[in-house]
Structure 1
Amino acid sequence: MGEAANDTVRLLWGPPARPTRGPKPALSLERIAAAGVEAADAEGLGAVSMQKVAGLLDFTKMSLYRYVPGKAELVALMVESALDEPPAPATGTDWRKQLFDWAHHLTRLFVRHPWLLDATNGPRVVGPKELAWLERVVAALDGHGLTGPERMDAAVLLAGHVRGIAEQSRAAGPSGSPEAALLALLGAVVRENADRYPAVAAAMADPDGRDQALDFGLERILDGLAALIERRAQVEDQPPSGA
């Protein structure tokens, strides 16, 4: 693990080292992270800098370096600050409902903090809250005949679907509807060329189920997991060969 990763682990998992030089600490990691989240919510992740955050806190940039080594570590703290705890499963809730609720909670987080889509890309050190989101999916699928890697892959698959829809919604602009944006851009063109693209024209003209891409994809992913779980259960129920 590199030095930068070690710094991130220390900041996220603690206990953080206290500054050893200068006056008594006047800042906290929580305040610094909250200021970074404020800046990112207002102007996007690209607008976040040590200078920007220092200005919001009425401190100098150099004073921030006594707490946070650089922007990468700052962004890691911001992610942890912006995340909610994952939804706790209600008593008696089956795995399918747990994962459905999980995906919707994650979607709302991306809507509230669109910059999280950029900040949570690629391999990196994650904090306790982010790891708890992974734990929730893996735990929900435990005991249903899936291997450990399959449960992890299920979490990646669900998160990837949510991210894809959230990315499209962000790109759609104020409406937040990818389908509405597509219709606005291509609707007239497709109608005028319906003889060349009859299937697309018919599909775009049908309002039934519009803007349901998130739930449609979730249900199909969960259908696939259910089919795999059922298949594994049938194999386990089969008597041993030669019995």
Structure 2
Amino acid sequence: MRHLAKLPDGLLRLPVAHRALHDVAEGRPENSRAAIRAAISAGYAIEIDLQLTADGQAMVFHDYDLKRLTGDTGPLRQRTAAELSRISLAGGDGEGIPSFSEVLDLVAGQVPLLVEIKDQDGAMGPDVGPLEAAAARALKAYDGPLALMSFNPHSMAEMARLVPDVPRGLVTSAYDAAHWPLSAATCDNLREIPDFDRVEAAFISHEAADLARPRVRALHGEGVPVLCWTIRSPEAEAEARKLADNITFEGYLADIPG
């Protein structure tokens, strides 16, 4: 019998705001406190990303390098949490990069959180652990609806060990080798989602354009919740919902079911 921490109902019912409800035209950079507050106010679930600092802290930030999202440059992993807190997010009101603990305090269970742990190995391999440990420490006192996920199955295997009662899933993809900095063999392996049972996953979040893949349909047929990424229009949402249980969206305001 698989140990299975169940995906919170809110992550099946509420559309999930990708990197929170970001819109730089409105002063809300992705993964910012402002974007998180806006998502809470609108009643959406929230997806965020975690990266690791030089001093072993989990920060809410998508990229490995600072250049695209701030006025600074260089790998985030080479900066301390204190340094990152002072680096302003581009397009915002001057706020720095938030820590995972700060975001958990801000959300405080008001809406569900979907937390992606970014691959730290560089090739979806087993060189993981410090970011997972930092995330687990931050989660110790959190009791709101939340699930963890990663493209790297080794990350979720580690979270199964550290926080077995927190639901976890795999972010999955068509893994077109032309678009991934991975070997063709790695892409071929990950494409078939071979680690689903090993990591005791409760769900997958799959690339929207690839939802018809037989392996995805088979999992769904077995009752596995299928989320998808990333939806950018109501029309794309309508198509995705034919095959997925919920969406991760950005660039428009998804309808919340009544």
Please give the TM-score of this superposition, normalised by the length of structure 1.
Answer: 0.27
If you compute each CA radius of gyration, which structure gives the higher value, 1 or 2?
1
Structure with the largest fraction of strand: 2
More helix by share: 1
Q: TM-score, normalised by structure 2?
A: 0.26
